[in-house]
């Protein structure tokens, strides 16, 4: 497809015609066309522009017609304008639906269906590699606690593909809880999941988990004591999957991977202290570091796979003391 036939170029040409028909000056046309978005998110028949696109008040004169042109050229039925994330503790997106009567959309990832309202919930498309990795974990017969379940980003792979016998999913955002319940039904796994509504520090069950998933960035540290209490003391070995944003600007003395490993050792030591505080005599070893993505310049989103083993227990999992590192991007 030639550049002149790209969706952006078709949209730009149609908007240029709209502006000229409505008597905009050449300068206004040129300046406003520079605001036409070059990219967008598509969720089925819904297209989501960023808030930075088409923000100028000079658009007001043609704004209602503008949305119709956008839908026609992008072949969508609904259109939304996104913005920043609200500081409400729920990471609620500031999204305005400008065409359409609802914001519910459905995604399919790795044969798992996720439905959610784009005006109320975020969809973490950048975490697709970690969702695939979770789907491959050996969880058959295990009980998993997902401390920050959201709409089921990791809860569903644990249930649908990894074979977990039961997942306790903790979530405090009412909109995400609604989507999570829909997604459990949609994928036929609602009978193997208990949804705990509220702050996970109060809502999470204790002494039940073979694995705990802590999928919160930039840090899940506030949930670490809760995760330690959730581990099943009747198991010789349990696992935690800890998400962390780690500053990784290499120095003259340490490489990026060494910085990751330094942080992993710090987290292991902190978890051992917490377990000891809760009367658990366990050792904690980081068996694997997974780089999910670059979050910002010199900041990497990592997942630390921590093996928590009772001091009197036998060997569990891979070779003791070995830390593996994977980069997916």
Checking if the pLDDT of 258 tops 60, the result is yes
Instruction: Please state, in angstroms and as integers, the Cα–Cα distance from residue 91 to each residue in 72, 113, 138, 174, 324, following that order.
Output: 31, 22, 31, 12, 32
pTM recorded for the entire structure: 0.86
Q: Where in the chain is the domain with CATH 3.30.300.110?
A: 3-101
Query: Rounded mean pLDDT of 117-142?
Result: 90
Q: What is the pLDDT of residue 95?
A: 86
List pLDDT tens digits, range 80-94.
998 655 555 555 667
Q: Judge contact between 146 and 155, C-beta under 8 A.
A: yes
| DSSP-assigned states of every residue in 242-288 | EEEEEE----SS--HHHHHHHHHHHHHHHHHHHHHHTT--EEEEEEE
Cβ burial of 7 (10 Å; 0-12, 13-18, 19+) is middle
Nearest to 243 by CA among 187, 305, 159: 305
**Whole-angstrom distance, CA of residue 314 vs CA of residue 139:** 19
pLDDT of 171-227, one tens digit each? 999 999 999 999 999 999 999 999 999 999 999 999 999 999 999 999 999 999 999
Rounded to an integer, the average pLDDT of 43-60 is: 88
Counting beta carbons within 10 angstroms of the beta carbon of residue 315, is it exposed (0 to 12), middle (13 to 18) or buried (19 or more)?
A: exposed
The CATH class given to the 3-101 domain equals alpha beta
The CATH number that domain 126-327 falls under is: 3.40.50.150
Q: What is the mean pLDDT of residues 39-43?
A: 91
Residue 318, pLDDT score: 38
Q: How far apart are CA 252 and CA 223, in angstroms?
A: 34
Pinpoint the residues of the chain covered by CATH 3.40.50.150.
126-327
């Amino acid at each position: 497809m030639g550049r002149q036939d790209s969706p952006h170029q078709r949209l730009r040409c149609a908007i240029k015609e709209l502006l000229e028909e409505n008597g905009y000056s050449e300068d206004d046309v040129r300046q406003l066309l520079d605001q036409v978005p070059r990219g967008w998110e598509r969720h089925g028949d819904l297209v989501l522009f960023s808030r930075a696109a088409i923000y100028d008040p000079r658009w007001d004169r043609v704004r209602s017609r503008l949305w119709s042109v956008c839908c026609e050229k992008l072949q969508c039925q609904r259109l939304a304008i996104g913005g920043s994330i609200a500081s409400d503790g729920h990471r609620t997106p500031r999204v305005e639906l400008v065409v359409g009567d609802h914001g519910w959309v459905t995604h399919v990832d790795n044969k798992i269906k996720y439905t959610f309202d784009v005006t109320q919930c975020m969809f973490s498309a950048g975490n697709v590699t970690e969702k695939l990795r979770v789907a491959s974990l050996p969880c058959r017969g295990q009980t998993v606690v997902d401390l920050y379940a959201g709409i089921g980003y990791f809860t569903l792979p644990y249930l649908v593909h990894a074979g977990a016998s039961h997942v306790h999913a903790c979530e405090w955002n009412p909109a995400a809880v609604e989507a999570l319940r829909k997604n459990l039904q949609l994928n036929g796994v609602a009978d193997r999941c208990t949804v705990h509504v509220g702050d996970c520090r109060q809502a999470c069950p204790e002494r039940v988990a073979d694995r705990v998933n802590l999928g919160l960035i930039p840090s899940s540290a506030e949930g670490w004591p809760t995760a330690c209490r959730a581990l099943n003391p009747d198991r010789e070995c349990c696992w935690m999957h800890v998400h962390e944003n780690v500053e990784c600007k290499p120095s003259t003395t340490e490489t990026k991977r060494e910085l990751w490993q330094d942080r992993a050792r710090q987290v292991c030591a902190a978890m051992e202290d917490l377990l000891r505080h809760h009367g658990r005599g366990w050792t904690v070893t980081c068996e694997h570091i997974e780089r999910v993505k670059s979050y910002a310049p010199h900041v990497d989103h990592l997942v630390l796979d921590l093996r928590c083993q009772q001091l009197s227990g036998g060997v569990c999992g891979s070779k003791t003391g070995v830390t593996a590192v994977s980069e997916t991007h």
